[in-house]
Structure 1
């Protein structure tokens, strides 16, 4: 917590909670002592006491914004799909509600798969490698792997995630982010 010492009148100490304080202005400050000086960028000798500003009560939740078939209206991003080495596979991770074109698929390996021969694929029932073939990623290596399949999927298509954790797997997890636009 910052401690402010004023020399304008008799010395006084003001203790302010960092968590509850959004900002503070002080008049005629002789010294500002902070328990962690790193956040202090500037101390001005001639300031005026304005107010101690605290966070107010949170208001009611506003109305939800428009949501399209592929995420917030116009964004094209679908909710991320999290998975791990022990998940059932193959698994339906998304059901296409209306015809769309998949522009990109991004796979982020957040924890490397430790099994020998680990593989991840994303596709459809008819073509399990359509959107993200296993040859385009390395789940045993941390990183982000991206494809741009530009595949058109009709309404009712199931997106299938296939995870082969590899022999002897005990760890591994990742996340898929799909970007798509409706076909008009």
Structure 2
């Protein structure tokens, strides 16, 4: 088995600095290295901020960071599946063909808070739980909490599930970055 890839897209510079992005990356890698170990992925994970549209494998993950709402994953088409999840900063949406997560971030946010919300939204994606996720402990139930053993166990069991990622967010963020205030 090869390394598990997690792609983070912050082309709007929502997080605010390379130092803060490095901290976010560190926290997310720490969380997912524990999940990968539990899942038996010896190579661990690779977490990377990308500046080109990521092409994740069907089981890998992408997070889009944006400076403002509306949430770009709203662009994922509806089908017969009702699940979506939205909080004040994070949003996860999926249908039978693709999955996506985004979050509104700012340079004023703490790096760990950004990482916690990212992991929480990834839990919505992988576990296919909307608000029922919030009944669980650790980061599942409270993003101001910490990663729990139950969080690790739940994510490890679903880490390799095929949940193809929506890649339409990159073009929208690029348009916003280039001044298109209507890009949604």
* TM range, smaller chain: under 0.3
More strand by share: 1
More helix by share: 2
Greater Rg, structure 1 or structure 2? 1
The alignment's TM-score, normalised by the length of structure 1, stands at 0.27
The alignment's TM-score, normalised by the length of structure 2, stands at 0.27
